[in-house]
Each structure stands twice: as structure tokens, then as C-alpha cells.
Amino acid sequence: MSDPLRLGIAGLGTVGAGVVKIVRQKAELLAHRAGRPVVVTAVSARNRDKDRGVSLSDYAWEDDPVALATRDDVDVFVELMGGSDGPAKAATEAAIAAGKDVVTANKAMLAHHGQALALAAEEAGSVLRFEAAVAGGIPVIKALTEGLAGNQIERVLGVMNGTCNYILTRMEGAGLTYEEAFAEADALGYLEADPELDVGGIDAGHKLSLLASIAFGTQVNFAGVALEGIGQVSIDDIRQAGDMGYKIKLLGVSQMTGRGLEQRMAPCLVPETSPLGQLVGGTNMVVIEGDQVGQIVMRGAGAGEGPTASAVMGDVIDIARGTRVSTFGQAASSLAPVAAAATATPAPYYLRMALLDRPGALAKVATCLGDAGISINRMRQYDHVDETAPVLIVTHRTTRSALDEALAAMARTGVVASEPVALRIERV
């Protein structure tokens, strides 16, 4: 049998401990599949004494992840510390410089430094892989980078933050306000230390930027992701979108256009009968559209010890088998810098507003839309509540700039009680 593949694991939270457990408990299975034993030789974490539910006494301990990453008895540096900079980045760079291969779950680090790290890995002849950074246990990085590599990718979209989907699902199912559902997710430990990473769409935006790089052969451009969180989504929107046959999801969408790379992470409406519309709770879903394959939908757990450790192990076994694929699916030096598209692809929009009880109010609103060249697909006015009448409008396909023009004109009519909610309806 060949030499064992030796892992050095930095970061022993739930995922790191999960990886250690798999390596210990599935030694024979892994050796069969990888064609050689996979072992842990050294580990590193902030707190040596914490009980992690698994024995670490067989492994060398390093307080310093950089020291771990460069040990002679480590072939693969497994980075599970997190954080876009600091120790994670320093240790990853050190590992690459020392000719080690790297497996990471760190979406923030790759969203900010992916191009530089991929280039460094390429120059050093190292492999840098990150299946666990996107959509947890779903092997979507592999599908996009390898399985669908014969396709011109047309669009990648999906629900990539389970916490946001949990909050939206609870608002809908239990009639909670955003604040109540947020508090519930917090109590369950679903939120990042900085919750804005979740509910602000930043974490999901990181993931989207990595998928886009592979899909379109471009340098990671996280700064080009148009980010909008779920904090503005109200229970009224969820209910009334439901009345019109839609669900509201924090949806990431990436597509290449003549205007540049479009990357959006924002609450959108999707048909309730679509696979994305039917996604509930913390589950993730990624949809890949290719010119040959059509639409591929992948669904699974987006987080958690087992699913994330599964993704880490997929990368580890690849390396053990001798598979060496470029970080973003082609030589980092061949990835094109790309400008963000200034405007989004036209789409239908959902509008919700409260109209004052005045004669001709609805006509004024409709006129604003018509003047901006926007036609109305469906409109509903509900009974008056407190002097105002809720009105829902689904437009036909329009540009966001035409919509903004119409919204500005509506504000000048004096019949719209507060700023209308406008949500994109994504084709899925």
C-alpha cells in the first residue's frame, strides 16, 4: 500500500472535530477509496483543553497554525479556522510556500484573497481546494469545476445561507416577525458571531463570488456582488407574495452579460412550485445552467458538522488519489479580471405599497408605471386598513432603472403612504 496521506488540521470547532472523527472511524473505508491510508498527524486550535468529543492524544499539537502548516510530517494543511485574514491566511500562505496542499472551508478568505492564493498555489505546484466553503455538504464545487466542465455556464443561482432560509421559513410558517425569527435563530446558535454575515447576505455573497469565478473563468470579484440582506423583508411581503403564488428567498444569482459579470445576492420572489420555492429550513440549493446540460439542481444540508466534514473529506480524498485540479477550474493566471455589471438583467418585479384613500390613487400609480414603459401583469388591491389600502403589483419584465424612475414618480404623486417595497422575481 502507498504512503499515508498526512493531514494537519487547524481549527477544531465542530467541523474540525468532525473531520478527525471521520479519519479515525472510517480508516478502512477511506484507505479503500483513496488507495492509501489517510491519517492526521498534527492539530492546532486556540484552546488545547476543550473537550471535542474525540481523542487528540495521537496527534502532535501546535499552538501556532503557521508552525502546523509547515511541519515536515504534514502533506495537506486543512484550514478550518475561518476569518478572511489573520491566522487563517497566514497559515494558508505558509503552507503553500512550503509546498503543501491545502483544503479549506473558508469562504471569506477565498472571496477576498482567492486570486492571490490560487496564483501562489499554482506557482508552488500546490493544490488549494474548498468544497466545504460553499453549500456545505453539496458537492457543488466539484460538479461545476469538473462534472460540468464541458459546458458554457449560463447562470448559477441558489439559496446558500441556511440561516436566512430558516428565518424566512419560520416567518412564513409560524407567522413570526423578522425580529422574532431572528431571535429564534440566534437562540438556536444558527447565527455567525457577526449576524450581519448571515442576514446581510455577506456569507452567501462570498459563496456566490466563488461559484462565479469557476463558472465564468473570471477572477473572484466579491466587491462586485450587489448585496442586499433579508432585514427589510416583512411578514406582509411573505404573505402577500404567497397570495400571488410566490415564495421569498435570499437568492444568489450570477450570470455573465454583455455589460459585465452580474452577481446579485438579494431577497427575490420565486414561484412556490419551483424547487427553490419549495426549499424550507436550513437546506441549501444550487442550480447550475449550462448550454449543454440544461438545468442541474442540487439540494442538501448547507452547514453542520457532518455535511461540512463530508465536503472537506471529498477534497482530501481527491488529493490522496492524486487528483490535482486548479482552484477555480483553470490556471489562476488564465482567469480574467472582470467588471461588475452596472445594471441587473431585466426581470419582472413585485411591488407592495399602501395607497391613501383618495379618488384616482390607483390610476396615478398605474400611470407612473406606464410612463416609465412598465406594463402591469397582475394587480391586487385589498381592503383599507387604517386609511390606506394595500396594493400588490406584479410587473412584466423591466429594467431596474425604469422601475426606479416609476418609483420616484410615485413618490411625487402624494398618494403612496410609505416607500413601496420592490422585489425582483427571478426566473427559475
Q: How far is the CB of 231 from a second copy (least distance, A)?
A: 29
Please, which contacts does 356-364 make with residues 24 or more away whose CB atoms are closer than 8 Å?
Answer: 356/387, 356/388, 356/414, 356/415, 356/416, 356/417, 357/384, 357/387, 357/388, 357/389, 358/415, 360/415, 361/389, 361/413, 361/415, 362/391, 364/410, 364/413, 364/415
Q: What is the rounded distance in angstroms from the CA atom of residue 95 to the CA atom of residue 48?
A: 22
Complex with a second copy: residue 201 or 282, whichever CB lies closer:
282
**8 Å CB contact between 197 and 82:** no
Q: How far is the CB of 256 from a second copy (least distance, A)?
A: 12
Complex with a second copy: residue 21 or 364, whichever CB lies closer:
21
Complex with a second copy: residue 4 or 231, whichever CB lies closer:
4
Complex with a second copy: residue 117 or 309, whichever CB lies closer:
309
Q: Checking DSSP bridges between strand 260-271 and strand 246-257, what pairing results, if any?
A: antiparallel
In this structure, how many other beta carbons lie within 10 angstroms of the beta carbon of residue 353? 21
Q: How far is the CB of 35 from a second copy (least distance, A)?
A: 7
Complex with a second copy: residue 32 or 358, whichever CB lies closer:
32
Q: Checking DSSP bridges between strand 260-271 and strand 349-356, what pairing results, if any?
A: unpaired
The residues annotated as belonging to the active site are 207
Footprint on this chain of a second copy (rule: CB under 8 A): 18, 22, 26, 29-30, 32-35, 131, 137-139, 142-143, 146-152, 217, 273, 275, 278, 290-301, 306-307, 309-314, 316-318, 321-326, 329-331, 334
Q: Residue 129 has what DSSP assignment?
A: E
Q: How far is the CB of 38 from a second copy (least distance, A)?
A: 9
Burial of residue 189, with CB atoms counted within 10 A of its CB: 0-12 exposed, 13-18 middle, 19 or more buried = exposed
Q: How far is the CB of 152 from a second copy (least distance, A)?
A: 7
